[in-house]
Structure 1
Amino acid sequence: MNLALFDLDHTLLPIDSDHEWGQFLVRIGAVDAASFARRNDEFFAQYQAGTLDPVAYLEFALGTLAGFPRAKLDEMQAQYMQEVVLPAIRPSARALLQKHLDAGDLVAIVTATNHFVTAPIAKALGVEHLIAAMPEIDADGNLTGKLLGTPTQGPGKIVHTQAWLAAMDKKLEDFDSVHFYSDSHNDLPLMSIVSHPVATNPNAQLKTHAAAHGWPLIDLFND
């Protein structure tokens, strides 16, 4: 069996689902527009620059989620999927995923975005396995605003991927090939240890690194 790992934002989606969720909350009036949009944009700029403190960001994002009862969150999430995410999914991304699924590969999305935002996205893309930042949930199903474990960003993607595989009594070395598709230099730690890193819609830093190391480059969103 082969393994195919995918980053989500700007890799399978031409948007950043986390940032867009924040913009959506502003648009529907669920949060204070000025203060939230400013903080959300600051964190997004830090992510693009590779200077984001993932714990600080997740505490901000999960703290916002904790301000709503679960029923309201689920209602907003369904609206977000219909208005923002589903229209953004491209046939090219679905086709790439399907190629690996049809080949019998083990497929997973590995994302720094939290599990609440990304779980319905993975489902919509037909991907069973999702490795994402896990929010703490209380006995009533509400989010507490706290992060469980370590962030799934940068080197954290290695830690969480290895733990996910270990739960199935597997490790990276057990697979004949391991693909990892990503758009960002933030994912260089995991890309550097798989057999087939693929720079996918790469940012400038990753594009330069990929070219220097002979990694393939693909663009899913040039149509």
Structure 2
Amino acid sequence: MNGLVIFDLDNTIIAGDSDKNWGMFLAEENIVDKHYLLQSEEFYKKYSTGDLDIYSFIKFCSQPLIKNSMDKLLDLRKKFIETKIKPMILDKPKQIITNHIKNDEKVIIATATNNFVTRPIADLFQIDDLISTELEIKNNKFTGNVIDIPCFKEGKLEKVKKWANKNDFKLSDATFYSDSFNDLPLFNEVKNAVVVDGDSKILSIANKNAWQCMSFRE
């Protein structure tokens, strides 16, 4: 392998936020109510300002998973992927991912969104290695607990670093694509930081550091 290439998921290789859209989809399916969506919007405002309490957010997002059977959730997820996620798939990142693989580079996804939502999305990109927020399952039911730590901010860096060490890669030689200033801890550790359709905060930092900036939506 020639090197490690890390892709963020939401608003990077797909044109939207899978976690937020999952909540909206559950509302359409009458699994959650309007109050849930209002709470969700408040969490996303805090995410945008960098003030998100990730453990409170995970507890909130886990509610519909805890309350429903695994069979029902799997059926819902299948419909969600077909009707909501596939239309968000962007051609440009698919081609860039393919090019990295052709260059014999190892491509992984690192996302704060939980593995129940994101595992089938990674499969759409034919990426086996997914680093995400892992939700605990016991007796085929979600418990609401997180395995290890959330894959968010410094937690994402820690989980990616642990994976890289285990698989004999160095972050100091890696490339990382993301849209969000919440990923600044990981951006600061890689050799090649690539800001994709970035928010204003990360674009400002990118300009100061002469990081590459690009769009996957043009």
Smaller-chain TM-score range?
Answer: over 0.9
- Please report how far the alpha carbon of residue 14 of structure 1 lies from its aligned counterpart in structure 2 after TM superposition: 1.1
The answer for the alignment partner of 1:215 in structure 2 is: 211
The answer for the alignment partner of 1:25 in structure 2 is: 26
- Please report how far the alpha carbon of residue 80 of structure 1 lies from its aligned counterpart in structure 2 after TM superposition: 0.2
Deviations 1:166-194 (A, max 9, x none): 333x2425x7x310001000001000010
Contact 2:196 2:216 in 1 (8 A): yes
Deviations 1:29-71 (A, max 9, x none): 1112x21111111111111111111111011112321111000
Structure 1, unpaired ranges of 5+: none
Farther-moved stretch of structure 1 (183-192 vs 54-63): 54-63
TM-score, L = length of structure 2: 0.96
Contact 1:181 1:198 in 2 (8 A): yes
Q: Report percent identity of matched pairs.
A: 29
Counterparts of 1:102 and 1:30, CA distance in 2: 42
The answer for the alignment partner of 1:149 in structure 2 is: 148
User: Which letter maps to 2:200?
Assistant: A
Counterparts of 1:147 and 1:64, CA distance in 2: 15
Contact 1:63 1:146 in 2 (8 A): no
Q: Secondary structure at 1:52's aligned position in 2?
A: coil
The answer for the alignment partner of 1:47 in structure 2 is: 47
Does 2:170 align with 1:172? yes
Does 2:134 align with 1:134? yes
Structure 2, unpaired ranges of 5+: none
1:118-129 paired onto structure 2 within 5 Å = 118-129=118-129
User: Superposition RMSD on alpha carbons, in Å?
Assistant: 1.2
Counterparts of 1:205 and 1:82, CA distance in 2: 33
Farther-moved stretch of structure 1 (116-125 vs 90-99): 90-99
Counterparts of 1:164 and 1:64, CA distance in 2: 30
The answer for the alignment partner of 1:162 in structure 2 is: 161
Does 2:187 align with 1:191? yes
Q: Secondary structure at 1:94's aligned position in 2?
A: helix
User: Which letter maps to 1:2?
Assistant: G
TM-score, L = length of structure 1: 0.94
Contact 1:43 1:52 in 2 (8 A): yes
Contact 1:63 1:144 in 2 (8 A): no
Counterparts of 1:220 and 1:30, CA distance in 2: 33
Contact 2:109 2:131 in 1 (8 A): yes
User: Which letter maps to 1:154?
Assistant: K
